[in-house]
Amino acid sequence: MAPVSERLRWLFLAWVISMCITTTQCVDRSNFKTCNQSAFCKRQRSVTPGNSPYRALLDTLELNENSMKLQLLNKVNKVPLLLEVSGLEGNMVRLRINELKPLKPRYEVPDVLVKEPRTVPLAVVSRDEGSVEVSLSSPDHRLVLTADPFRLDVLAGRELLLSVNSRGLLVFEHLRQRKDTFTAKVSSAVGSMWDTIRNVFSSASKKEESSEEGEEKADDIEPTAEQTDDKPEDGEAEKVKEEEEEENEEGMWEETFKTHTDSKPNGPTSISLDFSLPGVENVYGIPEHADSLKLKTTDSGDPYRLFNLDVFQYELHNPMALYGAVPLLLAHTPRRTLGIFWLNAAETWVDISSNTAGKTVLGKVLDYVQGSSEEPQTDVRWISESGIIDAFVLLGPKPTDIFHQYASLTGTQAFPPLFSLAYHQCRWNYNDEEDVRSVDSGFDLHDIPCDVIWLDIEHTDGKRYFTWDPNKFPSPRDMLRGLQAKKRKMVTIVDPHIKVDSDYKIHKEVRSHGYYTKTKDGSDYEGWCWPGTAGYPDFTDPEMRSWWASMFSYDQYEGSMENLYIWNDMNEPSVFNGPEVTMHKDAVHKGGWENRDLHNLYGFYVQMATAEGQVHRSGGTERPFVLTRAFFAGSQRYGAVWTGDNAAEWDHLRISIPMCLSLGLAGISFAGADVGGFFKSPDASLLVRWFQTGAYQPFFRSHAHLDTPRREPWLFGDENTRLIREAVRQRYALLPFWYTLFYQAYRTGEPVMRPLWVEYPADVSAFAIDDEYMLGGALLVHPVTEEGATGVTAYLPGKGEVWYDIHTYQKHIAPQNLYIPVTMSSVRKQSFYKRPLCS
């Protein structure tokens, strides 16, 4: 591979105006929980860092060709856990913690990993009474496990890369039988009585010992390890008492939020684990949040939340949950990039705090580590409501290595059909077939390229998906043939909530097969959504997914043709009358699992089944196109994602850049934001700037709310039509480039749209930049993101590298901050490319 200085690069400055932060907040925050309102998050966050109650029992260690296993004992409640550590091919480590003997199985996430990761042999390098050192396949990488308190350190040579449980925040709430209030009180009283008896005998014993001083040493026998384990260790008795008192703490067995009560038949089941990253100041990922690319510390506010929700016109610069969740965090320094993949589909909170490495480097690790004890450190704590701890540490060391490692686990971006990389025109809703023909003709009349026209929920017969309104869309195949004659496609919406109607074929079949999600009492789960009362198919059931896929065949989806593709919306799932506008956590899925265990997988499965339906309808020859709003790790295998219900405001335009960048870092390259903003009405300058930005984001679709004025590209005057036409044509001129980038993403897992630091990992100046980005390794884009801008300042990275204006070929030497005057019509004069210097 040629060095950076010999690779061709391009710099394009797309003119999109920057945001000024608005004070308007349309989301009703009271509908969504804070950490303090989420019982398990509040409970976990009340645990203060310090010595962990967990001790690794080194005498239980078993080492085989696949993993190292040993028990962890909670010194307070005596509940044993099973720790399993594996080295994986590709320079990764997997860490799994589960109860040794749970009352019943705990949920383990299926279907996200593309295959069971291949392990590498581990070998014990040294061992003493308090620790064990294990080498990975690379002799340079080692694991040091310290027994008491339990911690695990990952080293490369003498460099400490990452520590697990160094802050003592491992918490694993074990499954238990509920004690009623009376039983709990009796237990507490008995416990107090035994405390009194124990103290009496202890005092007597001490007096007896002092009176027998000088007698034979044989009388002073140390208790065995087994005997010691039968009672709390010194200083732990009070903790036992506190745990017994907390057994019926509010929120452990039942929780109420607003008018909704969540029964918790399994009681408290949350888990938590902390990771310390010495030398790290910059962390990224864990989408989806409407926030900066570089993640912020959360000490003074809520943690970042991962819980798929339908959030109406979301608030910006906030860690609250949005539509999708990918529990992948990347840490970057000039020397190395690391990743942590937390494979858990329950509601999850991620705390991020700054620290200094000297405060957590203790014990035997001090014998190995070089460097200043005052170097910066980032601490990351994952908190999930249920399931097991299943964490992957991706050791890089380069950014591209992280992408390859994560792709080896969850798959790469699906290679999209070429048309889907072109321009899409959407609105809630195009009224009827005549309206579709008019919009279709409008693009021809105004000479603006367009490949796809979309239909929202109003095209159906009363919000019954897989149908057409018989009055407004009586001849869907004729409409589709008209588009097909111009090589255009159509996308229709198919949401996962099914109208409860005894005459509706889809509902009848789902109900007759027993495919609906159930309530805790065993009846079909129902909620309100667009059709009114609706049922929610259980997409976690493979049989249900197979049936759903069959509904996309041409003989089942009446009026469909080969140029019709699908959009899955509202698949968090959205339940208008549900807690936090989503499904109740105690709803029951296939296998008896609660929605709380797998909530973030629902949208993943909806898109999976829909994509498989498109493949099956073509006999396996068709590459599908499916857009989804909800997603999880692995969703990249099934199609595209958009950033949801944004607004026609400059700040929403601005935030679309870090949101798409974060998705790309987490494996989802095919992502974009609604051009023009879904809510509200953009003025001409905002709409033009948004087209100029959207043309350089992976998924390029304009979309608008039902209540907004029409905003087809030719409705804002001749000059603005010309500017929009030019922006769209630039997208089409680069389609071969886009197609190549997506093929590379499909093959390697490397993001199409990527932060500058991915290409320039040692350039500290690039680490926090999220208003410009690279497309592949060749094109740098700096959208104009300020209303009324007369100029922009673009950072050109790469010491000694040469960047050229893509239209004028003017040369610029990097690194530098380049000020460029701009006007609304100056876009063609402000593009740049880069090619190798002559020797």
Q: What is the pLDDT of residue 457?
A: 98
The 10s digit of each residue's pLDDT in 185-239 is 444 444 454 444 445 444 444 444 444 433 333 333 333 343 344 455 555 555 5
| Interval 108-121 mean pLDDT | 97
Q: What is the pLDDT of residue 179?
A: 83
Examine the pLDDT at 716 and tell me if it is beyond 90.
Answer: yes
Q: How does DSSP assign 779-815, residue by residue?
A: EEE----BTT-SEEEEEE-STT-EEEBTTT--EEESS
Q: What is the pLDDT of residue 65?
A: 83
Take residue 172 and report the two structure tokens written for it.
């694993």
Q: How does DSSP assign 308-346, residue by residue?
A: ----TTPPSS-----S----EEEEE-SS-EEEEEE---S
**Distance between CA 642 and CA 708 in Å, rounded?**
20
Q: What is the pLDDT of residue 26?
A: 67
The 10s digit of each residue's pLDDT in 810-826 is 899 999 999 988 988 76
**Distance between CA 84 and CA 212 in Å, rounded?**
48
Q: Give the pLDDT band (50/70/90) at residue 138.
A: confident
Q: How does DSSP assign 512-524, residue by residue?
A: HHT-B-B-TTSSB
Whether 232 and 240 have beta carbons less than 8 Å apart is answered as yes
Please state which of the ranges 362-366, 682-686, 741-745 shows the lowest mean pLDDT: 362-366
For residues 835 and 148, which has the higher predicted lDDT (pLDDT)? Answer: 148
Which of 324, 463, 326 lies closest to 392, judged by CA? 326
The 10s digit of each residue's pLDDT in 771-796 is 999 999 989 999 998 999 999 999 99
| Interval 763-773 mean pLDDT | 97
**Distance between CA 368 and CA 724 in Å, rounded?**
60
| Interval 110-133 mean pLDDT | 96
Beta-bridged to residue 452, according to DSSP, are 424, 489
641: helix, coil or strand?
strand
Could you tell me the sign of the dihedral formed by the alpha carbons of 706, 647, 605, 258, in that order?
negative
Enumerate helices (H) and strands (E) in the chain, giving the number of each.
16, 42
Share of the chain above pLDDT 90, in %: 81
Q: How does DSSP assign 714-774, residue by residue?
A: TSS-HHHHHHHHHHHHHHHHTHHHHHHHHHHHHHH---SEE-HHHH-TT-GGGTT--S-EE
Q: What is the pLDDT of residue 363?
A: 59
Examine the pLDDT at 304 and tell me if it is beyond 60.
Answer: yes
Examine the pLDDT at 17 and tell me if it is beyond 70.
Answer: no
Q: What is the pLDDT of residue 249?
A: 81
Beta strands in 494-544 (DSSP E): 498-499, 526-529, 532-535
| Interval 734-753 mean pLDDT | 98
Q: What is the pLDDT of residue 809?
A: 85
* Cis peptide bond N-terminal to 474, omega within 30: no
Please state which of the ranges 81-85, 353-357, 469-473 shows the lowest mean pLDDT: 353-357
Q: Give the pLDDT band (50/70/90) at residue 24.
A: very low
| Interval 291-301 mean pLDDT | 97
Q: What is the pLDDT of residue 629?
A: 98
Q: What is the pLDDT of residue 804?
A: 83
| Catalytic center residues | 569, 645
The 10s digit of each residue's pLDDT in 419-429 is 999 999 999 99
Q: How does DSSP assign 114-168, residue by residue?
A: SSPPPEE--EEEEEETTEEEEE-SSTTEEEEEETTTTEEEEEETTEEEEEESTTS
Q: Give the pLDDT band (50/70/90) at residue 608.
A: very high
Whether 572 and 582 have beta carbons less than 8 Å apart is answered as yes
When the pLDDT of each residue in the chain is averaged and rounded to a whole number, the result is: 89
Q: What is the pLDDT of residue 553?
A: 98
Q: Residue 616: what are its φ and ψ, rounded to 5°?
A: -65, -35
Q: What is the pLDDT of residue 357?
A: 72
Q: What is the pLDDT of residue 832?
A: 57
Q: How does DSSP assign 361-378, residue by residue?
A: --GGGGGT--S-TTSEEE
Q: What is the pLDDT of residue 208?
A: 44
Q: Residue 31: what are its φ and ψ, rounded to 5°?
A: -80, -10
This prediction's pTM = 0.91
Q: What is the pLDDT of residue 250?
A: 85
Q: 242 burial class (0-12, 13-18, 19+ CB within 10 angstroms)? A: exposed
The 10s digit of each residue's pLDDT in 26-48 is 688 999 999 999 999 999 999 99
Q: What is the DSSP letter of 490?
A: E
Please state which of the ranges 50-64, 169-183, 755-769 shows the lowest mean pLDDT: 169-183
